[in-house]
Amino acid sequence: GVVPRQHSSGGKPTLLGMSKRGDAYLRTMLIHGARSVIYRATQKADPDSWLVKITTRRNKNVAAVAMANKTARTVWALLAHGREFKAGYAAA
């Protein structure tokens, strides 16, 4: 309910934003956590950061939902595959 289904056509994946189905409290906590991360990221001001780039292009609330969605997808993948989070992980 937090992360929507993937809608793909012609080999191009379309992943939409966070849906309003599912646990409202969990969704609220993810968005509040994302707002905190945005606040800290703007203080550090690393211009190459994904989060700083999206906050310059979009509204901060939209960026918070995008960050919460990204976090939810990461948490789901870790739980679904039984792995631990590694900060320096890069896909091969």
Residue 22 is given by DSSP the state S
End-to-end C-alpha distance for the chain, whole angstroms:
29
pLDDT score for 76: 87
* pLDDT tens for the 92 residues of the chain, in order: 565 566 677 777 666 666 677 788 888 999 999 999 999 888 887 778 888 888 888 888 888 988 998 898 888 889 998 988 888 877 65
User: Pairing mode, if any, of strands 6-9 and 12-15?
Assistant: antiparallel
Q: Please, are residues 17 and 4 in contact by the beta-carbon 8 Å criterion?
A: yes
Quote the pTM value: 0.71
Parse the chain into domains and list their residue ranges: 22-80
